[in-house]
Amino acid sequence: MSASDETLSGATPLKPIGGFIGLASADAPPGRTADFGGQHVLQFWNARAALAHLLASLGVGRIWMPSYICGEPALAAAEAGCQVLFYPVGAGLIPDGDVLARGLRAGDAVLGVDYFGAPSPVLPDLAQRIPDMTWIQDRAQAPWPDPAPWGAHILYSPRKVVGAADGGVLVSRDGPVPPPQWAPDPDQSRLEPARLRAEDPLGVHGDIWFPAYRAAEAAMSCAPRPMSNLSRSVIDALDLNAIAARRRRNAGILLSRVGSAALFQPDRLLAGAPLGVPVLTDDAGAVVARMARDRVFCARHWADLPSPAADFPAEHALSRRLLTLPCDHRYDDDDMVRVAETFLARR
């Protein structure tokens, strides 16, 4: 029974858990502004536009990316005219520093991902050993600022992590990157799905806001558009310490219940403020569908990888098995128990 059917029948809809985050309050305390951990900050409408601008500005010819990554960074690199190369991370999402180091040559850039908000292993040490590369830290799945940054340039994606309707942030630690010639941005319709979602906490009208969200996502590109004023106001208003604490608590509850299904050990995942809890199944797509019938909505990070499957079989096998249990700051202890029980019953 759908949420709309439940409403028509008089039943209280089961609270939805997961899915994209609705628009948060934009009422910032006087004088508060977001701290991204550096003074050289450019705010774009999404992180792929920020990456494309960075690579083009620096004149990067080759960029190394992890073999387990979503498609957008590779598209951004292509937009900037870069050759994309991949390095292995295996089924545990741990970069193979030896393979990467052997392949590097002068002028290369390296993109490393802080998966699910957890600190990256291997790459911080490698960046110190080989400093004459352009090291880019992808924290699109993490809040800000990073307490121990290792990249010369850091990417954040507020629209994926908190209740911002759009937003991708570039922080450059070694000096400013010139801003782009900002593209005109007259169409603000991409902001509407977040508003609609926030107005529908029980998910009764998902047939309206979810297609709108999918359309807004499909319209995203690498064009150098600025973050909206609305999202800037939302970001300024956030209490990120409270958000991080709630996420860690929620992730801890899930980890204590899902056991060996968890991809990361607690000490790795809980060292950050988790986007979600990655877990292993036999068939992620089927489990996602079964859990959705119980109104627990899990993402797949990621079902489609841009790296060649023949060269990276372990990573592509992982993409078929991995799903992300929601643990964000919208939810409490009881919600996490429900998520864990649903996963264990439906996996």
Per-residue model confidence as pLDDT tens for the chain (347 residues): 445 444 444 566 789 999 999 999 888 777 788 999 999 999 999 999 999 999 999 999 999 999 999 999 999 999 999 999 999 999 999 999 999 999 999 999 999 999 999 999 999 999 999 999 999 999 999 999 999 999 999 999 999 999 899 999 999 999 999 999 999 888 888 899 999 999 998 888 989 999 999 999 999 999 999 999 999 999 999 999 999 999 999 999 999 999 999 999 999 999 999 999 999 999 999 999 999 999 999 999 999 999 999 999 999 999 999 999 999 999 999 999 999 999 999 99
Could you tell me the CA-to-CA distances from 105 to 36, 102, 110, 125, 130 in Å, in that order? 30, 8, 11, 18, 10
- 324 is a domain residue: yes
Q: Of 219, 138, 225, whose CA–CA distance to 179 is shortest?
A: 225
Q: In the prediction, which pLDDT does 7 show?
A: 45
Tell which residue, 161, 157, 58, 175, has the closest CA to residue 110.
58
Q: 209: cis peptide before it, omega within 30°?
A: no
Domain membership of residue 295 (yes or no) is yes
- Answer whether 53's CB lies under 8 Å from 161's CB: no
Residue 305 included in any domain: yes
pLDDT for 41: 98
Write the single-letter amino acid at 105.
Answer: R
Burial class (CB in 10 A: 0-12, 13-18, 19+), 28: middle
Domain for residue 298, yes or no?
yes
| The pLDDT of residue 2 | 47
Residue 290 lies in a domain: yes
Residue 10 has what pLDDT?
A: 53
Q: What percentage of the chain has pLDDT greater than the value 90?
A: 88
∠177-180-183 over CA atoms, to 5°? Answer: 160
Whether residue 336 is contained in a domain is answered as yes
Q: How far is 308 from 61, CA to CA, in rounded Å?
A: 20
Q: Which of 133, 55, 146 is nearest to 100 (CA)?
A: 133
**Domain span holding position 336:** 240-346
Residue 159 lies in a domain: no
CATH code: domain of residue 294 = 3.90.1150.10
Q: Yes or no: say if 197 and 209 are a contact pair by the CB < 8 Å rule.
A: yes
Nearest to 88 by CA among 103, 72, 106: 103
- The domain total for the chain is 1
Task: Examine residue 216 and state whether it is found in any structural domain, yes or no.
Answer: no
What per-residue confidence (pLDDT) applies to 165?
A: 94
Q: What is the pTM of this model?
A: 0.94
| pLDDT score at 27 | 82
Give tens-digit pLDDT for 12-25. Answer: 678 999 999 999 98
